[in-house]
A and B are shown apart, each in its own frame.
Chain A
Amino acid sequence: MSSPTDADLYPVAERRPDLLTTGTGAPLDHLTVENLASGSAGQADIAISADALRLQARVARGAGRSRLAENFERGAELVAVPDAVVLEIYELLRPGRAASIDILLQAADGLRRDYGAERIALLVEEAAATYLRRGLFRRRF
């Protein structure tokens, strides 16, 4: 849930850094030049977490931006999805890539089952229904 006061969390890095963790779950303060140089922090730390995105969704909704908030929530679901899978799903959603509606529906099931990505799955299912109605399951190349 959110309320207008959620916008007061913002900027989170300045007002509530205690709510943030790096990509490996370390506190934000762990991300320093020294730690990156010594190797005790690394690129895996320089990544946003699903929790941070859900926090930004609360901020967005608090500021009156429901659609932006929904995107942040979809983004939160994709944090745990590997790059290769993300790119694979994107490719499937492009016109003419999936040969039938079943392929998209199976992809949605997989996202729901393997990553708990309910919102993303709904998006893919909605796309599948529209593609079927508009005849997009056709070869383009």
Chain B
Amino acid sequence: MNDGSTPNRWKRYDHWDEKPLAQDRFAVEDAEHGFCAVASPWDPAPGLVIEGGRIAAMDGKPAADFDMIDSFIASHHIDPEVAVEVMAIDSTDLARRLVDIAVPRAELVRLATGMTPAKLAEVVGKLSAAELTFAQSKLRARLQPGNQAHVTNAKDDPIQMAADAATAALYGFDELETTVRVARNARTCALALTVGAAAVRGGVLVQCSIEEAEELRLGMAGLTSYTETMSVYGTEDVFIDGDDTPWSKAFLTAAYTSRGLKARCTSGAGSEVLMAFHEKKSMLYLEARCLCVQRGMGVQGTQNGGIDGASVAGSVPGGVKEMFAENVMAALLDLECASGNDTRHSHSDMRVAARVLPPLLAGTDLICSGFGSIAGYDNSFALSSFNGSELEEYLALQRDYMVDGGLAHVPEDAVMAARSSAIEAISAVLEELELATVTVAQKASVLHAHGSQDTTTYSLGAVAAINHAMEDKAVNLADVIAALHRRGFDVVAENLLVMARQRVAGDYLQTAAVIRGGKVVSAVNQPNDYRGPGTGYTPDGLRRDALARMRTQIGRPDVMAAEGRIGDEERRAFRLVPKGTAAKGEDLREVVIAVSPGFGAELNKTTGECRHSEVLRMLTQGIAEGGGTARIVRIRHTADTSFMGLTGARLAGSGIAIGIQGKGTTVIQKAGLAPHTNLELFPQAPLITLAHYRQIGANAAAFARGESPEPVVIPPYGDALGAKFHVRTALLYHIEADLADPTAEPEDLDLVFSD
């Protein structure tokens, strides 16, 4: 027999080979070639020799042999006084302090200023994944976590850019990062990003990732407000191949600062392996070097945790844990941490969701250093862990654990209003500054677009023309604010002014600063003060309510309203007329249909979408076809299927009854059986069709004749019915349970169809 599978092979492998995980390639651990998450045999032992107040040796290497990274760390990171103290403390002892609620963040941050890279890697490397999560809760710089979005599109289209920026701002992203498919489109996209975000609120930080000189120019024109593209590497050779040195990056950091731009470095496991010069060191040790350099440069924060090398880091044993350990190390060094979770490290959704959990549960300053808020195919960086398609899944994860990952549900009318406002604002700016005209068709296509495949708008070439015009006119933030004012977009103009004033004050240059409600929030004025249960940040009040909301939520009023609408139609289709208290029947062919308190009254449809009128029609037809006589009795003292069935069976002349709840759960019961035994039980109501009900009626009649019919089979194909049905099922059952009156007697009903 050949069914297409490989002969002589367990067929489960064929099944696994079809799954996304099968595309992931896992690297064999191989420290000699750089595939090692932590504790490579070639990692140096921690150590520091200070002679005459100067560092004479660090991590086993004498100063004369220092490479440029060692030199920079020795002269700019290490505090010799603290180093004498902390290097003498056992690393296990230090690791325990990271998870000790009695040791405050400030003390750990102080100790870290004296730790060498090898010491940091050894200390942080001692923590389990759970311990890292707890340590991160304590070490995060800012009190309340945040998030950053990628906002890009495949056409570099400014109209869509503005609409998507507004959408991202509305969902709560503190920072928006864009980049472009064609380098010369950067100016247009930065403008659109800035204006789009301002259509929602003031102070959303924006950046355009592009070549350094151009990025500085965009920043100086006020079109962007932060940068995070300053790459730092853990070995000298890779740093040089990256075309920089710690000093050139330190200078660049100061340059961005001088132009009033918030700055963040980027580093992360995997880059040294990918660029071949890993020196056989572990990823965590190399990242420790990167982070010591960054702290020494005086940059306020970092984007780390894998980043572009995430799929390499994630391929080694313990690699995903290592990426999170990098985030914890950054926080320990008092750096704002945008904790990776941007470039997708796996084809498996399960691995992706599992990866985000530790930082999401612990809270980091920015959970994703690029959450793809747009359609996946529009992401000009790379596919993110989370994309526009997964945004609601992220909301669900926040809600499941009741943690604040920076985002919250937004109603559809608010989304549409924000997108519309952004489209109108960017169109006004483009027209007022005589950069481009925007057609009604363009606006309409963008308004409802999931992504650029839905839009009819500028070509890449046309966008380039806008960019040329922007360069010719040297368009800057002042021009944009003035243009918006002239066109009557004063709210958007005022929102942009928030950022202009910030540029003058520089408050948002401090560690972990974001702007919320028009005000700067940072590690200076809202430091993380978590010290164990009952302390730190917990979402409460309105924020908790916002995190709890989901687009697809239902409550009792929703169920009641839906039932009421069907009920109006059902009242016209049939009636159940009470005839008085039910007594034991005499007819030996008689099968009782024992209906629940709300069946065909308050409730009108099963969870399998069968109307109660049709269910009764099928049951009675089935009973008649099986040679029985149907008698309908309403059970009023209980809504429990088993007890309803048993009560009905005792009333039936044949001793056989069908018990059925409003939601459709059904049983065939026989008098004399124990309550929770039965002839046939059909618990999966969502799968029961009208044909099944007819067959159930026929089987009940067969039992009445004393036969033993073939059971009705309702095939469950392993469907996960719970998540789809259980909320409604429980609410429907509650309604019936509330209707039950323990003292009420069963009542005979006449079934009268209107047709």
Chain A residues close to B by CB (< 8 Å) = 7, 10-14, 17, 20-23, 28, 31-34, 36-37, 39, 41-43, 45-49, 52-53, 55-56, 59-60, 63-65, 67-72, 74-79, 81, 83, 86-87, 89-90, 93-96, 120, 123-124, 126-127, 130-131, 133-134, 136, 140
The CA-CA distance from A37 to B432 in the complex, in Å, is 13
Chain B residues close to A by CB (< 8 Å) = 67-68, 71-72, 75-77, 106, 109-110, 212-213, 216-217, 220-222, 236, 239-240, 243-245, 247-248, 250-260, 295-300, 334, 476-479, 481-482, 485-486, 490, 493-494, 497, 500-507, 509-511, 519-520, 522-525
Chain B neighbourhood of A41, CB < 8 A: 478
Contact of A68 among B212, B243, B298 (CB under 8 A): B298
* Extra inter-chain contacts (20) besides given A12-B506, A32-B497, A53-B506, CB under 8 Å: A17-B505, A28-B504, A37-B481, A37-B485, A46-B478, A48-B506, A59-B524, A60-B511, A63-B511, A69-B298, A70-B298, A75-B256, A76-B258, A77-B254, A83-B216, A90-B212, A95-B245, A123-B251, A131-B245, A134-B236
| B250 and A123 within 8 A (CB) | yes
The CA-CA distance from A47 to B502 in the complex, in Å, is 9
Give 15 CB contacts A-B under 8 Å. A10-B522, A13-B502, A14-B519, A33-B481, A47-B504, A55-B506, A60-B511, A60-B524, A67-B77, A67-B298, A72-B298, A77-B258, A90-B252, A94-B248, A131-B68
Chain B: minimal CB distance from A66 (Å)? 8
Contact of B501 among A10, A31, A126, A131 (CB under 8 A): A31
Contact of A53 among B257, B295, B490, B519 (CB under 8 A): B257
Chain B neighbourhood of A12, CB < 8 A: 505-507
Chain A neighbourhood of B243, CB < 8 A: 94-95, 140
Q: A43-B222, A93-B247 are in contact. Are A13 and B505 (CB under 8 A)?
A: yes
Q: A31-B504, A36-B485, A47-B260 are in contact. Are A68 and B511 (CB under 8 A)?
A: yes
| B494 and A48 within 8 A (CB) | no
- Nearest to B507 among chain A residues (CB) is A11
Question: Main secondary structure on chain B at its contact with chain A?
Answer: helix
Chain A: minimal CB distance from B63 (Å)? 10
The CA-CA distance from A138 to B340 in the complex, in Å, is 35
| B296 and A67 within 8 A (CB) | yes
| A45 and B505 within 8 A (CB) | no
Contact of A124 among B77, B247, B296 (CB under 8 A): B247
Chain B neighbourhood of A49, CB < 8 A: 504
| A71 and B257 within 8 A (CB) | yes
Chain B: minimal CB distance from A108 (Å)? 11
| B298 and A10 within 8 A (CB) | no
| A94 and B257 within 8 A (CB) | no
- Nearest to A28 among chain B residues (CB) is B504
| A67 and B510 within 8 A (CB) | no
Chain B: minimal CB distance from A111 (Å)? 10
Chain A neighbourhood of B505, CB < 8 A: 11-13, 17, 20, 28, 48, 52
Chain B neighbourhood of A20, CB < 8 A: 504-505
Contact of B478 among A14, A36, A126 (CB under 8 A): A36
The CA-CA distance from A68 to B76 in the complex, in Å, is 11
Listed from nearest, the 8 A-B pairs whose CB atoms lie closest are A71-B298, A75-B257, A127-B247, A78-B258, A13-B505, A48-B260, A93-B248, A74-B254
